[in-house]
């Protein structure tokens, strides 16, 4: 059975403007310095608490306070983030070709599901797996394992599944779970983060071709 797992932010949805905008407002409200836009791009994709402390520089003892402030701002605009061009066509073609698709994201699971529904793509996925509500279980290996478990519960043999994502933690999380990965360049990770992926795709059409090759 051909199975593909998709990261969400920076892979399916261009969430950068909504994520970065909410981060800037939360930093300002709480009196923290605001990094430049290039640095803020690194906040898109990693587990939230990791991004808060390691990218934004928020002290660990105020990370939960920041998370709650950020979340309250972000949920007001999160569904405004657009799909990347060509993504819906790719999902449709893969589904028509017999692929089983799932989401594996470090975003909180309920929020990813809400955005997928708002963008009209939820129906393409047999499972949407993400961080739990505490966001303590948000590492990529963990959410990939959750996605595989949800698929197994539906009788899907996900052995040989391929992970698709735009950040190093997508590639590493796949490796940790014994899976191959395809790195996509239209997201928020620098090209070097994809060096250990099985393939690097520069557009959704190319991604579809790589998935077919890897599954052959």
CA distances 154 to 4, 102, 104, 158, Å, are 15, 12, 16, 10
Catalytic residue among 7, 9, 166, 170: 7
How many other CB atoms sit within 10 Å of the CB of residue 123? 10
| E runs forming strands in the chain | 3-6, 100-108, 125-131, 162-165, 180-184, 199-201
Q: How far apart are CA 68 and CA 211, in angstroms?
A: 38
Q: Within its chain, how far is the Cα of 32 from the centroid?
A: 26
**68 is an active site residue:** no
Q: What is the CA radius of gyration of the chain?
A: 16
Supply the residues annotated as catalytic: 7
């Amino acid at each position: 059975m051909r199975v593909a797992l998709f990261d969400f932010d920076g892979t399916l949805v261009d969430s950068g403007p909504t994520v970065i905008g909410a981060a800037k407002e939360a930093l300002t409200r709480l009196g923290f310095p605001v990094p430049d836009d290039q640095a803020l791009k690194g906040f898109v994709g990693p587990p939230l608490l990791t991004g808060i402390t390691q990218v934004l520089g928020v002290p660990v003892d105020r990370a939960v306070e920041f998370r709650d402030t950020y979340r309250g701002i972000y949920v007001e605009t999160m569904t405004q983030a657009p799909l990347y061009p060509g993504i819906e066509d790719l999902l449709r073609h893969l589904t028509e070709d017999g692929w089983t698709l799932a989401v594996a994201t470090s975003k909180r699971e309920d929020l990813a599901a809400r955005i997928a529904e708002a963008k009209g793509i939820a129906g393409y996925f047999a499972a949407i797996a993400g961080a739990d509500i505490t966001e303590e279980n948000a590492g990529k290996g963990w959410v990939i394992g959750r996605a595989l478990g949800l698929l197994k519960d539906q009788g899907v043999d996900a052995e040989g599944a391929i992970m698709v994502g735009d950040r190093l933690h997508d590639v590493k999380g796949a490796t940790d779970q014994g899976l191959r990965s395809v790195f996509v360049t239209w997201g928020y990770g620098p090209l070097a983060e994809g060096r250990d992926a099985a393939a690097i795709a520069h557009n959704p059409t190319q991604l579809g071709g790589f998935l077919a090759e890897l599954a052959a």
